[in-house]
Amino acid sequence: MRQNVLRPGLLVDINDLPLNRVEDLPEGGLRIGALARMSDVAQAAGVVQRFPVISQALLLGASAQLRNMASMGGNLCQRVRCSYFRDATSPCNKRDPGSGCAALDGFNRGHAILGTSDKCIATHPSDVAVALVAMDAVVHTRGPADDRAIPIEEFFLLPGDTPEREHPLEHGELIVAIEVPATPTARLSIYLKFRDRESYEFALVSVAAAVRIQDGAIADVRLALGGVGTKPWRARRAEASLVGKLAGEASFAEAAGQELAAAKPRPLNAFKVELAQRAIIRALMTLTNGDTR
């Protein structure tokens, strides 16, 4: 609003709604209220113990001051950090559908290489959303018509021909909670974030990873990428490649290569292809006690 990107006629303060609890579910999952503060969720015992990847993503996602104020539902709905979107004078199909995308041939070093279209290449900015996508979270909403449970992968929309539509939320529909199902794999999980500087910068590449090893082979693996996709990117190709394989750098590298084969980089962000592959390898090697150099 300060940058004249949005000019709403009405603002509604929802902070007094009773949606700020972090609850442990009977089977080991979590229910996180949409107004729970990032700092409270990051420190909740059930999150730290059973879903360390979520806690780490929250701690790496913002400064302490912001974490104390920012809500989980707000984090999921934050707008892209593309400078052309936030510059009200530049062409931007998200802000002004049909006006064009200045980032395509502009300064696009921080932009997406996966899930792009010729209408938009803006990167989704959230860190915790990447971890939640890896954990198969479900977004619960309440609207004028009904309550809905939306799988989090479906909550974030690819730009396609309608980049102005980022979520399937309807007018008057509100996120009320985020549910994370129980999974033993999540206990061995990590969030790595690579950025230009260590002080709360947005990710050039990030990876949320969880793995379960049985008899030396990968029995289950969860991978999601941030900083490279127009939405938090679930690395399904890499996951499928890894299940049943022996845990090791060779299999991790092969899986990472398969995932990034679909990348469509621009000249200024082509480095993200190799960086994302290295990030996947680093995360999996760390979790399986391999060499992290």
The per-residue pLDDT for range 164-181, each reduced to its tens digit, is: 999 999 999 999 999 999
Among 46, 23, 2, 227, CA closest to 127: 227
The per-residue pLDDT of the chain, averaged, comes to 95
The two three-digit tokens of residue 108, written as one number: 């696009």
Q: Please check whether residue 213 lies inside any domain of the structure.
A: yes
pLDDT at 35 over 90: yes
pLDDT at 292 over 50: no
Q: Please check whether residue 206 lies inside any domain of the structure.
A: yes
Whole-number Å distance between alpha carbons of 277 and 14 = 41
Q: Please check whether residue 273 lies inside any domain of the structure.
A: yes
Q: Please check whether residue 118 lies inside any domain of the structure.
A: no
Domain that holds residue 195: 185-287
pLDDT at 148 over 90: yes
pLDDT at 199 over 80: no
CA 280 to chain centre: 15
Q: Which residues of 135-171 are buried (b: 16+ CB within 10 A; e: fewer)?
A: bbbbbbbbeeeeebebebbebbebbeeebeebbebee
Whole-number Å distance between alpha carbons of 214 and 176 = 37
Domain harbouring 252, CATH code? 3.30.390.50
Label residue 290 by pLDDT band (50, 70, 90): low
One-letter amino acid of 40? D
Run of H or E including 197: none
Mean pLDDT confidence for 194-202: 83
Please list, in sequence order, all residues whose beta carbon lies within 8 angstroms of the beta carbon of residue 114, skipping any fewer than 6 positions away. Answer: 225, 228, 229, 230, 233, 260, 262, 263, 264
Q: Please check whether residue 109 lies inside any domain of the structure.
A: no
Q: Please check whether residue 39 lies inside any domain of the structure.
A: no
CB–CB of 156/167 below 8 Å? Answer: yes
Instruction: Determine phi and psi for 61, rounding to 5 degrees.
Output: -85, -20
Among 120, 287, 136, 121, CA closest to 212: 287
pLDDT at 155 over 80: yes
pLDDT at 5 over 80: yes
Q: What total of structural domains would you count in the chain?
A: 1
CA 158 to chain centre: 13
Per-residue pLDDT reduced to its tens digit, 225-253? 999 999 999 999 999 999 999 999 999 99
The two three-digit tokens of residue 57, written as one number: 């993503």
CB–CB of 169/140 below 8 Å? Answer: no
- C-beta neighbour count of 2 within 10 angstroms: 6
pLDDT at 69 over 60: yes
Q: Please check whether residue 229 lies inside any domain of the structure.
A: yes
Label residue 102 by pLDDT band (50, 70, 90): very high
Q: Quick one: pLDDT at residue 88?
A: 81
pLDDT at 291 over 60: no
Among 202, 104, 116, CA closest to 163: 116
Matching residue, tokens 């150099």: 293
